[in-house]
Amino acid sequence: MINSIIRFGLIFILLILLQVLLFNNIQFSGYVNPYIYLMFIMLLPVEIPAWLLLLLSFLTGAIIDFFSGSPGMHSSATVLAGFVRPYVLNLISPRDGYEPNSDPSMIIYGFRWFLIYTIVIVLVHHTALFYLEVFRFTDFLRTFGRVILSSAFSIAFILLIEFYRKGK
Amino acid sequence: MRSLLNFLARYNNLIIFLILEGFSIYFLATRNSYHNTRVMFGIRGLTHSIEMKVSNMRSYMSLKHVNEALALENIALKNRIEQLVKTDNSSFISVSDSVYQQQYIHTSATVIDNSINKQKNFFTINKGREQGVAVDMAVTSGYGVSGVIVSCSENYSLAMSVLNLDFRLSARLKSNGYYGSLNWDGANYRKAVLSEIPQHVPVNVGDTVETTGYSAVFPEGIMVGTVSDFEKVGGDFYKITITLATDFKKLHFVDIIGNMKKSEQLELQNLFQ
């Protein structure tokens, strides 16, 4: 218990630092900004109680909001991602269910499973985030373009980090 | 009572979700407007030291480009001095009373935090109230217009970038003096839109667009950008797309311009409104 709290605490700090110091500064042409901090919500144990997951989502989003000066934007998108996560896990559960006390990681459930999981969660989060940012539906297609492009980069980076974790 | 408890127990996750989401949306709606940037700035104080380090690192990496820009600006300024000296020599009276003559004061500053990828972009600069910066001062780079100060703390200021959906600027075509309203459409960080120019006005691709000085924020005749495209919209007006002179991706050294006679001008204008 204590062990996993420390482990996730470290993952949390590492991802936030990566996001704030590195990824928030990547600004290709105003269309691409990857948000990899979302990975923290994805990596929490499968059996985590839903209320704790929601609170942690809110906390993560709020901290990112602090650093990017956009109160409420990241927290609402991340809370939404935290809310749909149990349903997504249910939908794509492996044939013989999840192993007890396991994390949703690539090592245990394989690349294909993790890819689908990442795509769904990232798309939900980014769609909410970018539409909340513009806060209107005129220019629907351009915002949609930003969602798709940024999602592609976020997914790529998240997979890369996950591969690195697997390699260790 | 029992059924209420049952209801709460059954939907507790949905309820937590709705409460947290409600909080977030409330913050989003109330804390992001133009005037509430002051509140936001208070929170930002916490993250400044980190941003400062990142900015220092980045400024070291871009020294070469900065030097080139400064050299260009130096040349322009030298030319300007040359012109001024000539006129002074040819006249007999030299007015040295700066209080009545000088209208604008300049201060230089460094950008320590900047973004171009949002719909409402702001940048932070390393001078504040202590150094004489005040709200509504103009910010320009060596190339052209970059923003307006919206909030100041002791040693830092927050400026609204041209790349902000709320930014408005009165700008004119240098060639014929017709003026319109400039704003950003949120699409491309190099382009902005100049509207309200009537269709009988001759417009050419490449024309220079500069500030008018009507708003009492920007001095007259500061470079904004060049016309890159124009089309007719509606019955009467052009929609002119402008390539901004300032490249916000490498915004680093900026000039802050304060108008010493602004209150006088505004007072007079308000008398008749």
Residues A58-96: tens digit of each pLDDT: 999 999 988 887 778 899 999 999 999 999 998 988 877
Within 13 A of B170's CA, how many CA atoms are on the CB side? Answer: 12
Between residues A129 and B49, the one the model is more confident about? A129
Contacts of B188 in chain A (CB under 8 A): 29-30
Distance CA A154, CA A161 (A): 11
Our count of domains for chain B comes to 2
CATH number of domain containing B126 = 2.40.10.350
The residue segments making up the domain with residue A76 are 2-167
Task: Judge if ipTM > 0.85.
Answer: no
Instruction: Evaluate whether residue B40 is within a structural domain.
Output: yes
Considering B82-91, B93-102, B180-189, B262-271, the range whose residues carry the highest mean pLDDT is B180-189
Residues B158 and B232 in one domain: yes
Between residues B68 and A42, the one the model is more confident about? A42
Our count of domains for chain A comes to 1
Lowest mean pLDDT, pick from A32-36, A49-53, A146-150, B34-38: B34-38
pTM over 0.90: no
Q: What is the mean pLDDT of the segment spanning B28-44?
A: 58
Contacts of A142 in chain B (CB under 8 A): 186-187
pLDDT for residue B91: 42
Q: What is the mean pLDDT of the segment spanning A14-33?
A: 81
Instruction: Evaluate whether residue B103 is within a structural domain.
Output: no
Instruction: Evaluate whether residue B137 is within a structural domain.
Output: yes
Residues B244 and B166 in one domain: yes
Indicate the angle between helix axes B12-31 and A73-91, nearest 10 degrees: 150
- Mean pLDDT for chain B overall: 81
Instruction: Evaluate whether residue B270 is within a structural domain.
Output: no
Between residues A57 and B38, the one the model is more confident about? A57
Distance CA B264, CA A82 (A): 55
With a cut of 50, say whether residue B92 has pLDDT above it: no
CATH number of domain containing A66 = 1.10.1760
pLDDT class for B193, splitting at 50, 70, 90? very high
Which value, to the nearest 10 degrees, does the dihedral of the CA atoms of residues A78, A82, A87, A92 take?
80
Longest dimension (CA), chain A: 49
Residues B132 and B21 in one domain: no
Instruction: Evaluate whether residue B53 is within a structural domain.
Output: no
Q: How many residues does chain A have?
A: 168
Residues A86-122: tens digit of each pLDDT: 999 989 888 778 888 888 888 888 889 999 999 999 9
Q: What is the mean pLDDT of the segment spanning B63-89?
A: 72
Burial class (CB in 10 A: 0-12, 13-18, 19+), A99: exposed
Residues B134 and B238 in one domain: yes
Residues B127 and B27 in one domain: no
Chain B residues 176-195 with a CB less than 8 Å from chain A: 186-189
Q: Which residue has the tokens 């000039």?
A: B255
pLDDT for residue B95: 46
- Mean pLDDT for chain A overall: 87
Residues B160-179: tens digit of each pLDDT: 999 998 898 999 999 888 99
Residues B125 and B218 in one domain: yes
Question: Does B252 touch chain A if contact means CB atoms closer than 8 Å?
Answer: no
Question: Does B18 touch chain A if contact means CB atoms closer than 8 Å?
Answer: no
pLDDT > 90 fraction of chain A, expressed in percent and rounded:
43
Distance from CA of B239 to the nearest CA of A (A): 17
pLDDT for residue B35: 41
Q: Which of A30, A72, A139 is nearest residue B27 as measured by Cβ atoms?
A: A72
Within 13 A of B218's CA, how many CA atoms are on the CB side? Answer: 23
Residues B13 and B115 in one domain: no
Q: How many residues does chain B have?
A: 273
Q: Which of A25, A69, A134, A132 is nearest to B151 (CA)?
A: A69
Lowest mean pLDDT, pick from A48-52, A143-147, B51-55, B140-144: B51-55
The residue segments making up the domain with residue B207 are 109-260
Residues B16 and B118 in one domain: no
Contacts of B122 in chain A (CB under 8 A): 69
